[in-house]
Structure 1
Amino acid sequence: MDDKSLIKIVSLVAVFVSCLLAVFLLTVRTKNRLANSLFGVFILLNAVDISSWFLNEFLFKYPTVLVFKATTGAIINPVFYLYALALCYSDFQLRPKHLLHLLPFALVNLVLMPRFYVADAAAKRVFLEHFGTTPESTFMLVLGHLQFVFYIVAIFLTLRKYRRAYRENYADTSIITYDWLFQLTVTITVVHAIVILKNTLGFTPYGRLFNGFELLVGLNSTLILSWFILKALYNPALFRSIDSTIAPVEELRVDEPPVATTPPRQPAPAITAQIQRLQAHMAQAEPYLDPELTIQDLANQLNMPVRELSLLINHHLDQHFFDFVNEYRIQKAKRLLKDDSQKSTTVLEILYAVGFNSKSSFNTSFKKHTGLTPTQYRST
């Protein structure tokens, strides 16, 4: 079996798996319906792109369909970006302004209009035969790579803002949405780099290497899609999103009056009183035992505006919300680990009892505060 035949088989499997996963995402009933639908569309668009390895020969008889199919690649990156927004922010909705993301797709088809779409059948076939050397092909290639860079940077910036806001407003350190999107974005970036290298080799005499890289891209696509499915199976509740109106504390401080450059001083009496009230509530009511505690929940308990509480913890106490909450959790865990009446209680039971829901995040936080693992601390 030669490389081209193997590429066709691999790509056919990848497209089949893509369609199955996309149908599932488009039809499953979850609270993340918009995000799942966008991800399903993203996967279908990639399947259309991958299908070129076995479908283009057949579609050469229908040049208009073939070229239009190729231009749908300009929609892939915008859809992935919108998926990232929908996954990160629970209040995200598609609006008319988001149609602006279709401009590259419209521009590519507009560029193809004079010499292809309005040409006769014979001229279309000649255009396709020499497509790789046409200015339109170069334009599509350059625009595609520039578009990819633009949207990948935009996604990383979105993730950076999301992570800051999450750490400042949620006590659960297991940020599965961030981890998933970050891993997915990095993976897509690596695959795109391989595609760039493949396309570059296509302009060189190293045709054998070009075919090898085509096979590599096809295998990667299949493996990545399998990873998608495993991720969905192991994490049926994907994912935790936040309200887009939640801003990092640096943005909240913009509205505060500027402070003169003077030596450090004690907090104002009102701030000190708020801190004491907060600390007393944490010690007496132990709200940190709730693994799903958010800064909104705590603000409601204290009858305090969430913005004010966020500034109090993240600015005046100089801690992220989850660091602040986990400090109390670790202190309680230390007491339980040293309590003779709790000797039969396992470390796993203790971590759940104090509000953690992940062994890895508990061990990381515990070692950060004590320099020891929970087992080591218990035996000292």
Structure 2
Amino acid sequence: MDDDVISLVHALGVFQGLILGVILLFINRKNKSTFFLGLFLIGFAIEFLPVILKDFKILENHPGLLLLPISFSWILFPLFFLYVQKISIFAHERVTYRILYPGVISILFLFILFLLPESTKEYLRGTYLFEIFFVLGLSYSLYIVVRIDKYVRTHTEEVKNQFATVKNRQLQWTRFFIVFCFVLVGIHIGTLFIKVAPVLELLISCASLILVFSIAISGIIQYNVFSAVQHANLPVKATIKQDVSKEKVLDLINKIDDYVIDTGIYIKQDLTVVDISTALELHPKDVSNAINKHYNKNFNTYINEFRIKKAQELLRTDILNNLSIEGISREVGFHSKASFYAAFKKATGTTPMNYHIETSKS
């Protein structure tokens, strides 16, 4: 394997990350908070500069660049965490900027080391100082990755308690990318100390290229997830507490069920818990909490069950002579055929078409 090819891929990855990161910095706006994602991509790209300096033998010709303070392993994932917080349904709450402190301190530490005489830097390279530094950085990053995963799970639960349609609101892509990024950063740092096969190094570099591009595109596509409750004009405060009586919950559930069934509001595609709470003059939290407590379901599942029952009624007729499956999905309130199929199979164990065929025979 030609080392020049690997070096070229490394350089291309850094260039791509810097360009896409800068683009994300400039498209940052109120409904699309990409600033911290842009910083993350820039830092992620710069993280691989030591590999390029090594590939092109720049350090051999310019020993003064030894220990260049461009390792951001301590601050990369906190930046991504801030991005996730900024676009989440909890964006109106306090953002935890303090998670950046260890990263800032680590950069200052590296900068001080960089200013040391070359002989001192050479001596330090022969110790375990940097191995310990990078292991601690990866450990802190792993801690942040776990926090991001937990945060996105909580975000998803809240989205399902507020919206009947959750497409493009769950941020599941962030969980996949952040784990993949963590693994790649760990591997790249390892290649600075351990020699790996050229083929494996090339595959890792190509994976990094694809990952950076995918993250940038996802960030460009992803809009902020605004809380329906936070932006609603609420006339009352939430009243349901953990120790509320079953009679109170049952009374609320009867009101909610009657309203949803009588009005057929569940077929509204952009339905939120606020639509129902406003009509019943209740707080949205009371509506979602009552559904959670009585049915042990979130608002999204609760509404989808009404939609599926309506779809089953339609599929037991000859409606498919005039309407497609996608048409039925929109008729009962789903945004897409894919989400309808997933919800229908989860509820019935079969597909809409199979259900139609089976019920037509009986």
Q: Is the 8 A contact 1:38 1:83 kept in 2?
A: yes
AA paired with 1:339? T
Give the aligned partner of residue 142 of structure 2: 149
Distance verdict in 2 for CA 1:16–1:238, change over 3 Å: same
Give the aligned partner of residue 330 of structure 1: 308
Give the aligned partner of residue 314 of structure 1: 292
Separation (CA, whole Å) in 1 of partners of 2:217 and 2:267: 31
The one of 201, 215, 225 equivalent to 2:212 is 225
AA paired with 2:321? K
Give the aligned partner of residue 43 of structure 1: 41
Distance verdict in 2 for CA 1:63–1:105, change over 3 Å: farther
Give the aligned partner of residue 262 of structure 1: none
Give the aligned partner of residue 240 of structure 1: 225
Give the aligned partner of residue 67 of structure 1: 68
The one of 243, 251, 267 equivalent to 1:257 is 243
The one of 283, 292, 296 equivalent to 1:305 is 283
Q: Is the 8 A contact 2:24 2:216 kept in 1?
A: no
Separation (CA, whole Å) in 1 of partners of 2:215 and 2:53: 24
- Per the normalisation by structure 2, the TM-score is 0.83
Separation (CA, whole Å) in 2 of partners of 1:131 and 1:217: 28
Q: Is the 8 A contact 1:45 1:76 kept in 2?
A: yes
Gapped regions of structure 1 (runs ≥ 5): 247-251, 260-266
Gapped regions of structure 2 (runs ≥ 5): 232-237
Q: Is the 8 A contact 1:90 1:242 kept in 2?
A: yes
Q: Is the 8 A contact 2:73 2:185 kept in 1?
A: no
List aligned pairs for 1:60-139, cutoff 5 A: 61=62, 63=64, 67-70=68-71, 72-89=72-89, 91-92=91-92, 98-99=97-98, 101-107=100-106, 109-110=108-109, 113=112, 117=115, 119=116, 123=117, 125-139=118-132
Local SS of the residue matching 1:69? coil
Separation (CA, whole Å) in 1 of partners of 2:7 and 2:349: 54
Percent sequence identity over aligned pairs: 23
Greater fraction helix: 1
AA paired with 1:179? Q
Separation (CA, whole Å) in 1 of partners of 2:146 and 2:26: 30
Give the aligned partner of residue 264 of structure 1: none
Separation (CA, whole Å) in 2 of partners of 1:86 and 1:289: 31
Q: Is the 8 A contact 1:42 1:80 kept in 2?
A: yes
Separation (CA, whole Å) in 2 of partners of 1:108 and 1:20: 22
Distance verdict in 2 for CA 1:65–1:41, change over 3 Å: farther
Distance verdict in 2 for CA 1:78–1:244, change over 3 Å: farther
Distance verdict in 2 for CA 1:219–1:346, change over 3 Å: same
AA paired with 2:88? C
RMSD: 3.2
- Per the normalisation by structure 1, the TM-score is 0.80
